[in-house]
Structure 1
Amino acid sequence: MLKKIATSQVRLGMYLHGMEGSWLSHPFWKTKFVLTDPADLRALQASGVPFCWIDSSLGLDVDGAKPAASAPASASAQPEAVVAVVPEAPAVVAGRPRPDLSTTPASMGEELERATQVMQRSKRAVMTLFGEARLGKAVDAEQCLPLVAEVASSVVRNPSALISLARLKTKDDYTYMHSVAVCALMVSLARQMGLDEAQTLDAGLAGLLHDIGKMAMPLDVLNKPGSLTDDEFAIMRDHPTRGFEMLKEGAAVSEGALDVALRHHEKMDGTGYPGKLKGEEISLLARMGAVCDVYDAITSNRPYKTAWDPAASLARMAQWAGHFDPRVFQAFVKCVGIYPVGTLVKLQSGKLAVVLEQNATALTAPRVRAFYSTKSQMPIPTQVLDLSSPGASDRIIGREDPATWGFQKLDELWQAPAG
């Protein structure tokens, strides 16, 4: 039986079913478990959560009575308000701290190593999640929260590191890493747009799960190395609806995640799918999801196309009238930069350089690594330049197409230590 009690009444041995108040104040990743650790009890009572729901059929009651062996938990007894549809931020599980979204910023070089580890763990987690979804297992959003929080923490330390690494996915792991990349982009965009911590983590969860419907698509269509036929494209256009249906069957999936799964292919002019919604009919999260989804898709190598240059991708997206919400798109450009990390640029001095890191207060003056002279048509000793520094004597005069110059290893240049 579910009972609402004051947090001060919670005792060891009780089965926690839910907690009231902001999820940011909850001291646990998950709420459905038997409380056995005195440290967890102290954390709960110090958290500021006013009330908890306990299930006396699965743990101790307020009076200390043990549950009857034959008393199953009643699903029908659960009031809708007990389960928070979207947890707003994880806290602790097995000793892991919740993400600190006000954490100390890190340089690109400092965060790249940590972001690489996050990417590796994320890939394994998403492969497992998607594999289970393909087998018909319902998605438990609570199980996704540690991953979302870890991605969010990396993005907060340095927005460019993990987002730039995620762009380097291979054709074989695109489906999985695309979800991680969109998760990171959604977190960064949410912060840029001034959303609070709860909404930011909800945006990250929505990004992670937005393409879950692709797990219901035939593998020969999903992984086809060439262009899709009209019939195959019609099949793929059903993935938002299938994703929405799959997530509805899961546990603790937020309304935001459901909406982004269903609506991330809608367009502002009403020509998108599946609902042909227009303008404000599309939720803010779905409008954000549309931008993040497209940017990562066109800047990544996919089974049927080669990645576009990130700066060129932004330029093309800006020309797609009626596709994106202009306000959201402008905020997105501020996130990734006018010249995103990895962009090849030409400097006024005639040098070619690759962008290493953004300067948040000077989007046209990032940190770059110069490595080639267009005057001598020869490589030069690499030099890291902060184009926003007071003494900077050089500036960007335009972006360049790496293919024009035959450069094949720009990614190695921006990933190399800046020392």
Structure 2
Amino acid sequence: MGEHILKIHISELKPGMFVHDLSSEWTDTPFKKRFMVTDAGMVRRIQEYGIQELYVDTIKGDAPRGNFVPEDVVSRQLDGTIEELVKDSSPTISVSYTEEIAQARHLHEMAKDKVSNLLQDARMGKSIEAEQMEPVVAGMADSILRNPSAMMSLGRIRVADQYTFEHSVSVGTFLIAFARAQQLDEATIHQIGMGALLHDIGKTQVPEEILNKPGKLTDEEFAAMKSHAQRGHDLLASSSGISAIAQEVVVQHHERFDGTGYPRGLKGDQISTYGQMAAVVDVYDAITSDRCYHKGQTPTQVLRKLLEWSKFHFNPAVVQQFIKCVGIYPPGSLVRLSNQYLAVVLETDEARTLHPTVRQIFDIENRRPVKPRVINLQNESHSELKVVNFEDPQKWNIPLEQIIPR
């Protein structure tokens, strides 16, 4: 960040400017993540994809005329809003993280296996037997009711070549947790969870070289990629055991509140509540994850983006509810503490999202692992300790799968 990155309205964008951030989930547009605007036709194309506000780099390209807000000022304002949102929630757990993690891990592995098998069946043209997912969905929902932190922490552990089904399980976890936080009834939660676990099944009908292509897609490739939402709906509509709610999650998770999404360009309340929730969760998990063509961003960065994008692309109320649900420091995150130790976030319920329970694991000053120690930052005896920021596990060569308890 810096003063040279400025937020502007699309009407201010001119050829010669360098786009730093489209202020939209960039895989939902056929543009590179960052690029030079070469002509007026490119400006029109950006407008056609519903981009209203964006950031330009005034070092790499021309500066807009007038006074504009720098990116770091926008970020501070957004952080203040996020902290206000998470201040006044209530506890939602019935058992401790350490009591629940073993069962959550078992269910998480089972879900990955089931989703992987179903995606493989769909890829080979076999019929989709979604009923086999029902016990997994029910188990995940029960685990999240007991302690959502346990299941959510496991979503941070990823294998690079297993993105599609690991993303599906993670979206399932977050969407079930979100639905529980909204106090929806049990049957609806299960149907939402089923749709979430299968939301990307249409990608089995899209060539992998398109799904994994770094950088800009051609118009034809982008159209093929966008077809996955409708293809997924069509696959499941012909299968038994898939409810209307589950199908809404599948077909609507790329719709946008301002009508700029796909496949149907639905707008506002034309998108079901469950589709609106799925859209937010899908983007949250996608851009916090490492992928073959981009590095995942920290949860704080992504919450800022969701809040900012809710001005146009998402229902603001749904985004605010999701931020309250997931919190600033999601379980499984690696963080730096004010005592210069690294710790993994274990427990974070809605009442103490600013003061999570963490597992201290690494001495930064001496660059060495330490005997793990669980610290509740809400406890008065640790009132001097706080989370300073997120850290990248790869930077410290710390594999999260080894430090989240079994």
Q: Judge same fold: TM > 0.5, yes or no.
A: yes
Cα deviation 1:64-101 (Å, max 9, x = unaligned): xxxxxxxxxxxxxxxxxxxxxxxxxxxxxxxxxxxxxx
Structure (1/2) with the larger helix percentage? 2
* Greater Rg over alpha carbons, structure: 1
Q: Determine the structure 2 residue equivalent to 1:25.
A: none
Secondary structure of the residue aligned to 1:194 is coil
Aligned residues: 312
Deviation at 1:118, TM superposition (A): 1.7
Relative distance call for 1:266 and 1:353 in structure 2 (3 A) is same
Cα deviation 1:111-168 (Å, max 9, x = unaligned): 2222222222222211221122222233333232122112222222221222221232
Q: 1:341 aligns with which of 325, 331, 347?
A: 331
Q: 1:111 aligns with which of 80, 89, 100?
A: 100
Once residues 402 and 298 of structure 2 are traced to their aligned partners in structure 1, the CA distance between those partners, rounded to angstroms, is 15
Once residues 268 and 146 of structure 1 are traced to their aligned partners in structure 2, the CA distance between those partners, rounded to angstroms, is 33
Relative distance call for 1:301 and 1:348 in structure 2 (3 A) is closer
Once residues 170 and 390 of structure 2 are traced to their aligned partners in structure 1, the CA distance between those partners, rounded to angstroms, is 25
Once residues 178 and 95 of structure 2 are traced to their aligned partners in structure 1, the CA distance between those partners, rounded to angstroms, is 18
Deviation at 1:303, TM superposition (A): 2.7
- Runs of 4+ off more than 6 Å: none
Secondary structure of the residue aligned to 1:156 is helix
Cα pair 2:153 2:346 within 8 Å, conserved = no
Deviation at 1:289, TM superposition (A): 0.5
Q: Determine the structure 1 residue equivalent to 2:173.
A: 184
Secondary structure of the residue aligned to 2:231 is helix
1:368 and 2:368 correspond:
no
Q: 1:139 aligns with which of 121, 128, 146?
A: 128
Q: Determine the structure 2 residue equivalent to 1:19.
A: none
Relative distance call for 1:410 and 1:363 in structure 2 (3 A) is farther
Q: Which moved more, 1:302-311 or 1:355-364?
A: 302-311
1:273 and 2:262 correspond:
yes
Q: Determine the structure 1 residue equivalent to 2:57.
A: none
- The sequence identity of aligned pairs, in percent, is 39
Relative distance call for 1:279 and 1:239 in structure 2 (3 A) is same
Q: Which moved more, 1:114-123 or 1:287-296?
A: 114-123
Once residues 270 and 103 of structure 2 are traced to their aligned partners in structure 1, the CA distance between those partners, rounded to angstroms, is 39
Cα pair 2:335 2:343 within 8 Å, conserved = yes
In structure 2, list runs of 5 or more residues that go unmatched. Answer: 1-91
TM-score (norm 1): 0.68
1:210 and 2:199 correspond:
yes
Q: Determine the structure 2 residue equivalent to 1:229.
A: 217
Relative distance call for 1:297 and 1:156 in structure 2 (3 A) is same
Task: Output the aligned Cα RMSD.
Answer: 2.6
Deviation at 1:416, TM superposition (A): 4.3
Q: Which moved more, 1:408-417 or 1:224-233?
A: 408-417
Once residues 414 and 380 of structure 1 are traced to their aligned partners in structure 2, the CA distance between those partners, rounded to angstroms, is 11
Deviation at 1:107, TM superposition (A): 2.1
Cα pair 2:276 2:314 within 8 Å, conserved = yes
Once residues 315 and 383 of structure 1 are traced to their aligned partners in structure 2, the CA distance between those partners, rounded to angstroms, is 31
Cα pair 2:334 2:344 within 8 Å, conserved = yes
* Counterpart code for 1:200: I
Once residues 169 and 344 of structure 1 are traced to their aligned partners in structure 2, the CA distance between those partners, rounded to angstroms, is 14
1:293 and 2:282 correspond:
yes
Cα deviation 1:314-359 (Å, max 9, x = unaligned): 2332222322222222222232221112334444555554322113
Residues 94-105 of structure 1 aligned to structure 2 (within 5 Å):
105=94
TM-score (norm 2): 0.70
1:329 and 2:315 correspond:
no
Deviation at 1:197, TM superposition (A): 0.8
Secondary structure of the residue aligned to 2:344 is strand
Cα pair 1:345 1:396 within 8 Å, conserved = no
Deviation at 1:225, TM superposition (A): 5.3
Relative distance call for 1:119 and 1:412 in structure 2 (3 A) is closer
Once residues 178 and 115 of structure 1 are traced to their aligned partners in structure 2, the CA distance between those partners, rounded to angstroms, is 17
Q: 2:347 aligns with which of 349, 354, 357?
A: 357
* Counterpart code for 1:229: L
